[in-house]
Amino acid sequence: MSQNLDALYLVYSFVNTQEREAELSPARYHIRGVYHDRGAIPVGELQEMAKSIIHENFMELFFNSLDEIKSFGDRLFNDYSAESLYLLSAQDFNLALEATSEASKLSENLKKYGERLVNEDVAKSKGFLSKFFR
Amino acid sequence: MNQTVFNALSKTDVVFPGEQWFFYWKTSAAMWESKISHHPKDEVLFLPLYWGLHAPKEGAWDFGDLSPEADLKRLIDLCGAHRRQVAILLPMSPMPFLPNGGMPVHITRHHSINSHGLMKAGVDHEGKLHKFYSFYGGKVFQSYLEFVDVVHKYLTKHKLHVPVYGLEGREFSTHFNSTREDYSPAFDQNFNRFLKQRFAENESQLSDPKQELILKREFQETTGELFAQSTAEVLQNWYKSQLNIVFIGARENDLMVRSVGDGLAPTEIMLQILHCLNQGKLPSSAILTSHEKTPLVTRFLTEQLSGTYLEREAKLRSRPEELTDELIPLEFFYLWEKNQQDTHNFSSQGLIPFLSKSFRWSYRFLEHFETSFLGPDLEQERIKLARLQGLSRSEMAQLLKLFLMGQKVILDRSGWSEEQERRFHLFLAENNLETQIVNYKTQILITKLGEGRLFVYDGATLCTQNKEEQADFWQNIMNYLELKHLNAEIEEGIIWCWKVKAISRDDLNYQEVRRIYLYNPTSYRKSMLIPSQKSFAFLRQLDPVSAKVKSTPHGVEVELLPQGAVNLDFGKFA
């Protein structure tokens, strides 16, 4: 599953689950998808990875907090050798989209508006190798 | 110019994005004549109107006075001068190939938002990103009607007798949602008004969030009907019907896959198109980029989508009453169920898994009952499968009439009403029909009349059986009906489908010719076997690309390299 990718983009939205379940339950974060320069990570793979972070609602990709989403980001780094992961809330995503008119420029704006998590392992190895290729 | 050459050329031509569409605003008006003269003579040109182009500012309209590219009269006249038939498509929802989804800038107020709070947008065939604006915004409906009225007056004044179709964009999703679907504040505002009117006296009914979601969908549908009805009323005789086009590449997820990622994969494009056709929907490749239209995808589009399918749906070309030399999809079954989400649906009865395995892509769900079920003679060969639950009295009567006319009809009686049951038994008695009851997995009532066969079974009982038992049930029904189909042993990853045509002068020994199309969009070499079978003879291979075909006593062996494709013809004996 390990792939060398430039960046991953995780889009999530804040969901008031009362609207869906008609019962009292806390609002949660819902991962809408994780994307990279070759496409999207299949939902089945996301569910499989989510299982190790959350024990409930992993099939629906519902997370209780942003910290859980960040832990999920670390899990993504294990399987996908990307240097960065950009977390984008619906608001961040909308700001990036608003600023874009060419599809090829969207990733630049997602990087601008998203919260960046760095994969230290990949960043270190790149730093190390760059000494040899100066 | 022949179709294949034209399609290959138009792959890189932004004016002809596919399926006979002509994006007139994408080129200088000075180039129109040259472009039109290259379009195949026997094919209709579909002109999607760009509302924003013709409404440059509030209260102003442009049909060539300001911009030559807005001169519809000249465009239609040029088509006439070159003997090209034209049809206008009038967008009634955001279009993923138009700036602002087509909406004029002066009425774009609220972004269209999906149910997860994300802004909606489309990526067109040139990689341009177009944001959608809410069709529920203030003034939008009123401005839209003004535009339709102006178009009507313009067509009348210049005596431009061209058919106009309402164009509704759809996304490839479970329910093929409209591109108009929206959950923005503009939508909420209108929805709240709708709720207040509807539940003016009983507000307590609004406390259930699930009910609210259902009502939101209902409101979206009602709005769609309002746009369509109003368009038809204003355009009068010019208006023909509504075409719901599924834009491949317009799904919520596709925005990211096609912007950040590498675009839609060939396998996905081909499967989505076949699935649309299978579900009775009209797919379009108009927004796919030249990068996504790889040589294999282009070949697939040429063979499966080009030609006349849209003209047929628009009723600009009649359906043939018998097989001709034109290849048409090989379909053994027409399926009809009022509610595909029902717990006892065809899928839960094991029918869809069975057909997907044994008759892949050779069945079709019908979108409209009356028009499609009573088709011309050619369709008598097709088995009609319907669930009686929810069918009206006249719909049920039509189905039974088909049986009397010699067709093969299979009906699921689970959930039928007392009235339907009474009418059915009355029908048997009135026509003096003898019935036979067979208990196999469920109770089946069988009736014969001449060539006609009528099966009535209980789908709910079938739902309680396991998958193997369900498959056995359907296999036995098909055996009884003596359906002849070539089964192919095909490796996973290969995309394939069948078409059929009448015999040519060289194939006089046969009843009809069936063609299988094989495409390998994977990065691996794939092999397959089409076993020799009674009643079928291998005739020829056509247009092999990176393909090896060998005819052996066991059958036809095919090897396809990555991105390879080949078509094989088989003759069917009587």
Look at A40 and B256 and tell me if their CB atoms are within 8 Å.
yes
Residue that finishes a domain, picked among B278, B313, B348: B313
Query: Does one domain contain both B532 and B443?
Result: no
Phi, psi of B110 (to 5 degrees): -115, 130
Query: Does one domain contain both B500 and B527?
Result: yes
If pLDDT is split at 50, 70 and 90, which confidence band does B1 have? very low
Inform me whether the C-beta atom of residue A62 falls under 8 Å from chain B C-beta atoms.
no
Inform me whether the C-beta atom of residue A28 falls under 8 Å from chain B C-beta atoms.
no
Query: Does one domain contain both B384 and B456?
Result: yes
Q: Evaluate whether residue B332 is within a structural domain.
A: yes
Half-sphere exposure of B323 (CA within 13 A, CB side): 17
pLDDT greater at residue B497 or residue B451? B497
For B116, the closest of A13, A18, A104 (CB atoms) is A13
Q: What is the DSSP string of B456-477?
A: EE-HHHHHTS-HHHHHHHHHHH
- Look at residues B48, B37, B31 and name the one whose alpha carbon lies nearest to residue B101: B48
Query: Does one domain contain both B395 and B506?
Result: no
Q: Evaluate whether residue B318 is within a structural domain.
A: no
- Sign of the CA dihedral B497, B499, B505, B507? positive
Inform me whether the C-beta atom of residue B98 falls under 8 Å from chain A C-beta atoms.
no
Query: Does one domain contain both B433 and B499?
Result: no
Query: For position B4, what pLDDT does the model report?
Result: 46
Cα B523 to Cα B231: distance, rounded to the nearest angstrom: 48
Q: pLDDT digit string (tens) for B110-129?
A: 999 998 899 999 999 999 99
User: How does strand B86-91 pair with strand B164-170?
Assistant: parallel
Q: Average pLDDT, stretch B306-330?
A: 74
Cβ count within 10 A of residue B82: 15
Query: For position B314, what pLDDT does the model report?
Result: 73
Query: Does one domain contain both B294 and B362?
Result: no
Q: Evaluate whether residue B305 is within a structural domain.
A: yes
Q: Average pLDDT, stretch B418-447?
A: 92
Q: How far is CA B243 from CA B26, B47, B142, in A?
A: 23, 13, 22
Query: For position A128, what pLDDT does the model report?
Result: 54
Query: Does one domain contain both B148 and B8?
Result: yes
If pLDDT is split at 50, 70 and 90, which confidence band does B81 have? very high
Query: For position B147, what pLDDT does the model report?
Result: 96
Structure tokens at B470: 């369900």
- The mean-pLDDT minimum among B7-11, B362-366, B405-409 falls in B7-11
For B209, the closest of A18, A90, A100 (CB atoms) is A18
Inform me whether the C-beta atom of residue A102 falls under 8 Å from chain B C-beta atoms.
yes
- Chain A interface, best mutation among B251, B260, B292, by max A CB count within 10 A: B260
Work out the mean pLDDT of chain B and round it to a whole number: 89
Query: Does one domain contain both B277 and B235?
Result: yes
In this predicted structure, the answer to whether residue B318 has a pLDDT above a threshold of 50 is yes
- Sign of the CA dihedral B310, B313, B317, B322? positive
Query: For position B476, what pLDDT does the model report?
Result: 92
Look at A35 and B128 and tell me if their CB atoms are within 8 Å.
no
Query: For position B495, what pLDDT does the model report?
Result: 96
Q: Evaluate whether residue B418 is within a structural domain.
A: yes
In this predicted structure, the answer to whether residue B347 has a pLDDT above a threshold of 70 is yes
Cα B269 to Cα B292: distance, rounded to the nearest angstrom: 9
Inform me whether the C-beta atom of residue A84 falls under 8 Å from chain B C-beta atoms.
no
Q: Average pLDDT, stretch B141-155?
A: 95
If pLDDT is split at 50, 70 and 90, which confidence band does B8 have? very low
Range of the domain at B63: 3-182+223-313
pLDDT greater at residue B506 or residue B539? B539
Inform me whether the C-beta atom of residue A19 falls under 8 Å from chain B C-beta atoms.
yes
Look at A9 and B260 and tell me if their CB atoms are within 8 Å.
yes
Q: pLDDT digit string (tens) for B14-46?
A: 899 988 899 999 999 999 999 999 888 888 899
Q: Which residues of A touch B129 (CB under 8 A)?
A: 97, 100-103, 106
Query: For position B412, what pLDDT does the model report?
Result: 95
Q: Which residues of A touch B253 (CB under 8 A)?
A: 33, 40
ipTM over 0.85? The verdict is yes
Q: pLDDT digit string (tens) for B236-258?
A: 999 999 999 999 999 989 999 99
Is B63 strand, coil or helix?
coil
Look at B260 and A93 and tell me if their CB atoms are within 8 Å.
no
Q: Average pLDDT, stretch B528-545?
A: 93
Q: Evaluate whether residue B201 is within a structural domain.
A: no
If pLDDT is split at 50, 70 and 90, which confidence band does B320 have? low
Q: Which residues of B touch A21 (CB under 8 A)?
A: 209
Q: Average pLDDT, stretch B536-543?
A: 94
- Look at residues A6, A1, A11 and name the one whose alpha carbon lies nearest to residue A93: A11
Identity of the amino acid at A26: P
Q: pLDDT digit string (tens) for B547-566?
A: 999 999 999 999 999 999 99
Look at B116 and A103 and tell me if their CB atoms are within 8 Å.
no
Query: Does one domain contain both B418 and B306?
Result: no
In this predicted structure, the answer to whether residue B542 has a pLDDT above a threshold of 90 is yes
Query: Does one domain contain both B64 and B111?
Result: yes
pLDDT profile of chain A (134 residues), mean per 10: 77 74 69 92 91 80 90 89 92 96 95 92 66 51
Residue that finishes a domain, picked among B244, B279, B313: B313
Question: Looking at the 3D structure of chain B, how many domains does it have?
Answer: 3
In this predicted structure, the answer to whether residue B377 has a pLDDT above a threshold of 50 is no
Query: For position A28, what pLDDT does the model report?
Result: 86
Q: pLDDT digit string (tens) for B458-506?
A: 999 999 999 999 999 999 998 888 888 888 888 899 999 999 888 877 7
State the burial class of residue B523 (Cβ atoms within 10 Å of its Cβ: 0-12, 13-18, 19+).
exposed
In this predicted structure, the answer to whether residue B196 has a pLDDT above a threshold of 50 is yes
- Look at residues B128, B118, B112, B264 and name the one whose alpha carbon lies nearest to residue A11: B118
If pLDDT is split at 50, 70 and 90, which confidence band does B279 have? confident
Residue that finishes a domain, picked among B481, B500, B518: B481
pLDDT greater at residue B342 or residue B570? B570
Q: Evaluate whether residue B284 is within a structural domain.
A: yes
Q: How far is CA B399 from CA A105, B386, B405, B419, in A?
A: 55, 8, 10, 16
Q: Evaluate whether residue B411 is within a structural domain.
A: yes
Residue B141: its H or E element: helix B140-157
Is B82 strand, coil or helix?
coil
If pLDDT is split at 50, 70 and 90, which confidence band does B6 have? very low
Contacts with A110 (C-beta within 8 Å, 6 or more apart), sequence order: A9, A86, A88, A92, A93, A96, B260
Query: Does one domain contain both B161 and B102?
Result: yes
From A132's Cα to the closest Cα of chain B, the distance in A is: 31
In this predicted structure, the answer to whether residue B380 has a pLDDT above a threshold of 60 is no
**CB of B315 within 8 A of CB of B240?**
yes
Q: Evaluate whether residue B206 is within a structural domain.
A: no
Cα B454 to Cα B225: distance, rounded to the nearest angstrom: 36
Query: Does one domain contain both B462 and B512?
Result: no
**Residue B207: closest C-alpha in chain A:** A22
Inform me whether the C-beta atom of residue A23 falls under 8 Å from chain B C-beta atoms.
no
Look at B116 and A90 and tell me if their CB atoms are within 8 Å.
yes
Q: Average pLDDT, stretch B414-443?
A: 92
Inform me whether the C-beta atom of residue B174 falls under 8 Å from chain A C-beta atoms.
no
Phi, psi of B50 (to 5 degrees): -100, 95
Q: Which residues of A touch B119 (CB under 8 A)?
A: 93-94, 97-98
% residues pLDDT > 70 (chain B): 92
Instruction: Sort residue B538 into left (φ over 0), alpha (ψ -120 to 50) or beta.
Output: beta
Inform me whether the C-beta atom of residue B117 falls under 8 Å from chain A C-beta atoms.
yes
If pLDDT is split at 50, 70 and 90, which confidence band does B391 have? confident
**Residue A22: closest C-alpha in chain B:** B209
CATH of the domain at B558: 2.60.40.1180
CATH of the domain at B299: 3.20.20
From A87's Cα to the closest Cα of chain B, the distance in A is: 14
Q: What is the DSSP string of B398-457?
A: HHHHHHHTT-EEEEE-TT--HHHHHHHHHHHHHTT--EEEEEESEEEEEEEETTEEEEEE
**CB of B515 within 8 A of CB of B569?**
yes
According to DSSP, the residues that pair with A11 across neighbouring strands are: A33, A88
